[in-house]
Structure 1
Amino acid sequence: MSRLVVIVAPGSRGDVQPCIALGRGLDGDRVRVLAAERFRTLVTSHGLDFAPLSADPAEILGSDGGREWTEGRTSATFLRGLRGALAPVMERLLADVHQGAAGADLVLAPTLGFLGAHLGASLGVPDVELHYQPSVPTGAFAHPLVPWAARTGPCGRRLSFRAVDAVAWQVLRPEVDRWRERTLGLPAAGLRGLRRTETPVLCGFSDAVVPRPKDWPARVHVTGYWFLEAPVAWRPDPRLRDFLASGPPPVYVGFGSMRPSEAERTFAAVRTALRRTGLRGLLGTDARVDDDDLLTVGDVPHAWLFPRTAAVVHHGGAGTTAAALRAGVPSLVCPVFSDQPYWGDRVFRLGAGPRPLPLRELTADSLTARLLELSGNLLFRRGAQYVAARLREEDGVARARQVLRSVG
């Protein structure tokens, strides 16, 4: 009998696309994706149901609270900024999630406020956690938000995960507890929150990029990435097609849903660095800057574009990092916040790119030096191609589907 599977995707495009890929792969199930309104067409064009979330991540990141959140230099300021960014929209977000999940037989949701657990308890249905970065306690490495804990030993590294969960819960608890009591008809979860010991976890990343720790429980499944392929009918803009054909592969530079606080200065530095190094560039920006050696591009599927580039300079979002690695091209990660420094470090340690260059430190001089390193060190391409070969052997959606068939 067909189930209604509800997938909660409250993040940016890098979070929504894997959910669409996962939903498309759930043969025999009806799938509804909860995401910001601007993703409606993207979701429905792939044959999935859609329900809107009024909280748009782009608007959140552009708000005063969002800028404070993304510009936090430490894990403590990041978590404090989380409340400032989400508090104004949390009540609406929770109402939308409740309405969108009506009738669900299975709920898949990220760890944000343990939304899936609350919905599952209210509806009397199972839930599954979706992780886009390692978030289950382990002694093998520290939580991506607390990199300094790597020096503390296995116990300290394990505690870093519990500490992040505890702080994040206290940040979101007031709104979530009110939601539980007033809307879901559940008692407040309280200071200690929810203890998750049996809930299945789907990790939408690859063991080739993050080796699975031996101390993770069996309920944690590292499936591989959930890649969304470019639509069969998709065709590139003639400007882009002609530019790619007119010379050697360019370097793509884009920062996804991130909005640099000084975007004009940032992209001016990018253009200068590209010209200094004699590299052609594709700039992922709304500003129109077309020249013989530079072209601005809008929404182009990474799965199509990245294999046609010489290298990728990006913000280090989990989805963009995965797409670059799968394309087998070297990357320079310019992280802004959250787990982006972690993914930049993983690219470096995999030998697929140089050390990360934080976006706030990006200048014409610093980027010129990194581009020379990126384009001149053939070992980076070799490292990226090695990881790409492993990723192409995986089918993360198929492995996730196999796990979900046993749930409920």
Structure 2
Amino acid sequence: MNLTLFAMGSQGDVQPYLALGAGLQRAGHHVRVAVPENFVPLAAAAGLEAVALQGNVQALMDQPELRALLARGNMLAINRYTSAAARAAAPVWAQQGLQAAQGADLLVTGLGGLAHSVGEKLGLPVLEAPVVPLTPTRDFPAVLLPAGMSRLGGWANALSHRLVRHMMTQQGRPAVVRQTLGLPRRAPRTRRWPTPPTLYGVSPLVVPRPRDWPAHVHLTGYWFLPEAAWTPPTGLDAFLAAGPPPVSIGFGSMGLRDPAATTALVLGALAQTGQRAVLLSGWGGLASGELPSHVYAAPPLPHSWLFARVSAVVHHGGAGTTAAGLRAGVPSVLTPFFGDQPFWAGRVRALGVGPAPIPQRRLTPDLLAGALRQTQEGALRERAAALGQRLRAEDGVAEAVRHIEAYGRALGHR
């Protein structure tokens, strides 16, 4: 088959689709990915043909206005800000998405409605494959809403999923895309193809499959790229060998409102616990300035390599980073900012592989030090190691490829 995968967002959002695309390509299919322009080199490194979608997510996250909104954790205000950026880019995305889908037999997409509009324009089926659970269920509220909503009960949980799906679809500005593509304002309700499976790049060991999901919805397991040869930066190997395993601390794609203050906070917590640490600079600029000898400042590097060499990981709770931390089999301390991050923080706590999460806006040296001490508890470490072993035995990419190939056969493709 010829497939085009649409992936938007930060690196943690995009990388699973590169893993899925690489798996499909290994299975003999031709794969093209449509990704934000700053991730085209990452796609090329995975051996995939890429079409750039206008926009640099890192540059957007670095805007002072958005940094301030992230610090407050106001999801509605964040959504308004990012929706304005999406509205401006939507006409160009429509044309670039059309280009990316040329010659495809099937479109595979995560969040957003771009692929659906492009598929309608070209007469192509679309298979949804997000990395966060979006199918309505009574078991838990939508992942982009406050976790406290679960106290309202099953009916509110199911309704919240529908509201969030509508919000996420609208964020991609489908009306602007449809107008650019010359489509009617509303998509037709008739279905031309068999019902596609909905695939979630999430492990059922982390999110148990809800009993009220339809049969065509599947949790395949996480989508990880194969391990590749990688050389650590100068001094990192020596630092790791110079003492007990350090903790890894970093906040990924989150723009920090005051990187120097956050670095000082982290150093204050480490001073209390006496632990060594690797600080990942991320997009927020953590670890700026002079650091003590028991702390190593690292540029972006593969989580799969680092997390296997540390005693615990502290991070923002993005879906990709959470998956990497759990797979490494070490305790996780989550400090969520917004979006789906509180959901993953709640799952880590419920699984007993990390202490209670600390929302970023409430993070203090004392709270972080307390959480770091908890990561050294024997029972917690044993649970984290056992879960990591089971996750490493999964092959989510192969499971997803199996479902996609089965649907391709139903469509008449080999």
On whether the aligned pair clears a TM of 0.5, the verdict is yes
* 1:311 aligned partner: 312
Alignment of 1:208-227 (within 5 A): 208-227=205-224
* 1:56 aligned partner: 56
User: Which letter does structure 1 place at the counterpart of 2:244?
Assistant: P
Alignment of 1:256-295 (within 5 A): 256-285=252-281, 286=285, 287=288, 289-295=290-296
Alignment of 1:242-261 (within 5 A): 242-261=238-257
Alignment of 1:198-209 (within 5 A): 198-209=195-206
CA distance, structure 2, for counterparts of residue 357 and residue 351 of structure 1: 15
CA distance, structure 2, for counterparts of residue 97 and residue 70 of structure 1: 29
Superposed displacement of residue 65, structure 1: 5.5
Superposed displacement of residue 140, structure 1: 1.0
* 2:176 aligned partner: 178
Superposed displacement of residue 74, structure 1: 4.9
* 1:122 aligned partner: 121
User: Which letter does structure 2 place at the counterpart of 1:91?
Assistant: P
Q: Deviations over 1:135-178 (max 9, x none)?
A: 00001111112223311222111111011123344555xx4223
Alignment of 1:348-367 (within 5 A): 348-367=349-368
* 1:135 aligned partner: 134
Say if 2:108 and 2:126, in contact at 8 Å, map to a contact too. Answer: yes
Superposed displacement of residue 121, structure 1: 1.4
Residue 6 and residue 69 in structure 1: after superposition, are their counterparts in 2 closer, same or farther (change >3 A)? farther
Say if 1:230 and 1:301, in contact at 8 Å, map to a contact too. Answer: no
TM-score, length of structure 2 as denominator length: 0.90
Say if 2:315 and 2:334, in contact at 8 Å, map to a contact too. Answer: yes
* 1:5 aligned partner: 3
CA distance, structure 2, for counterparts of residue 5 and residue 288 of structure 1: 46
User: Which letter does structure 2 place at the counterpart of 1:245?
Assistant: A
Say if 2:331 and 2:353, in contact at 8 Å, map to a contact too. Answer: yes
Structure 2, unaligned runs of 5 or more:
none
CA distance, structure 2, for counterparts of residue 168 and residue 288 of structure 1: 38
* 1:22 aligned partner: 20
Say if 2:269 and 2:368, in contact at 8 Å, map to a contact too. Answer: yes
Alignment of 1:389-404 (within 5 A): 389-404=389-404
CA distance, structure 2, for counterparts of residue 281 and residue 322 of structure 1: 20
- What percentage of aligned pairs have identical amino acids? 40
Say if 2:7 and 2:34, in contact at 8 Å, map to a contact too. Answer: yes
Superposed displacement of residue 28, structure 1: 1.0
Say if 1:22 and 1:226, in contact at 8 Å, map to a contact too. Answer: yes
CA distance, structure 2, for counterparts of residue 49 and residue 250 of structure 1: 38
Moved more, 288-297 or 308-317: 288-297
Say if 1:288 and 1:296, in contact at 8 Å, map to a contact too. Answer: no
Residue 53 and residue 164 in structure 1: after superposition, are their counterparts in 2 closer, same or farther (change >3 A)? same
CA distance, structure 2, for counterparts of residue 357 and residue 72 of structure 1: 14
Superposed displacement of residue 278, structure 1: 0.5
Structure 1, unaligned runs of 5 or more:
none
Say if 1:108 and 1:129, in contact at 8 Å, map to a contact too. Answer: yes
Superposed displacement of residue 197, structure 1: 10
Taking only aligned residues, the RMSD between alpha carbons, in angstroms, comes to 2.3
Superposed displacement of residue 17, structure 1: 1.3
Q: Deviations over 1:319-362 (max 9, x none)?
A: 11011100000010011111001101110110011111111222
User: Which letter does structure 1 place at the counterpart of 2:130?
Assistant: H
Residue 224 and residue 106 in structure 1: after superposition, are their counterparts in 2 closer, same or farther (change >3 A)? same
Say if 2:250 and 2:316, in contact at 8 Å, map to a contact too. Answer: yes
Q: Deviations over 1:43-98 (max 9, x none)?
A: 11221101111212112222355336534545544443442443333333333222
Alignment pair present for 1:333 and 2:330 = no
Superposed displacement of residue 313, structure 1: 0.3
Superposed displacement of residue 99, structure 1: 2.4
Moved more, 379-388 or 344-353: 379-388
Alignment pair present for 1:187 and 2:188 = no
Alignment of 1:236-247 (within 5 A): 236-247=232-243
CA distance, structure 1, for counterparts of residue 335 and residue 194 of structure 2: 36
* 2:129 partner SS: strand
CA distance, structure 2, for counterparts of residue 337 and residue 267 of structure 1: 20
User: Which letter does structure 1 place at the counterpart of 2:20?
Assistant: L
TM-score, length of structure 1 as denominator length: 0.91
Say if 1:69 and 1:84, in contact at 8 Å, map to a contact too. Answer: no
User: Which letter does structure 1 place at the counterpart of 2:152?
Assistant: T
* 1:305 partner SS: helix
* 2:375 partner SS: helix
CA distance, structure 2, for counterparts of residue 364 and residue 92 of structure 1: 45
Say if 1:61 and 1:85, in contact at 8 Å, map to a contact too. Answer: no
Residue 16 and residue 111 in structure 1: after superposition, are their counterparts in 2 closer, same or farther (change >3 A)? closer
CA distance, structure 2, for counterparts of residue 360 and residue 136 of structure 1: 29
CA distance, structure 1, for counterparts of residue 148 and residue 85 of structure 2: 25
* 1:228 aligned partner: 225
Q: Which has the higher contact order (CA 8 A, sep 6+)?
A: 2
Say if 2:326 and 2:387, in contact at 8 Å, map to a contact too. Answer: yes
CA distance, structure 2, for counterparts of residue 7 and residue 171 of structure 1: 19
CA distance, structure 1, for counterparts of residue 159 and residue 185 of structure 2: 25
CA distance, structure 2, for counterparts of residue 251 and residue 336 of structure 1: 20
CA distance, structure 2, for counterparts of residue 164 and residue 48 of structure 1: 31
Say if 2:97 and 2:115, in contact at 8 Å, map to a contact too. Answer: no
CA distance, structure 2, for counterparts of residue 135 and residue 197 of structure 1: 21
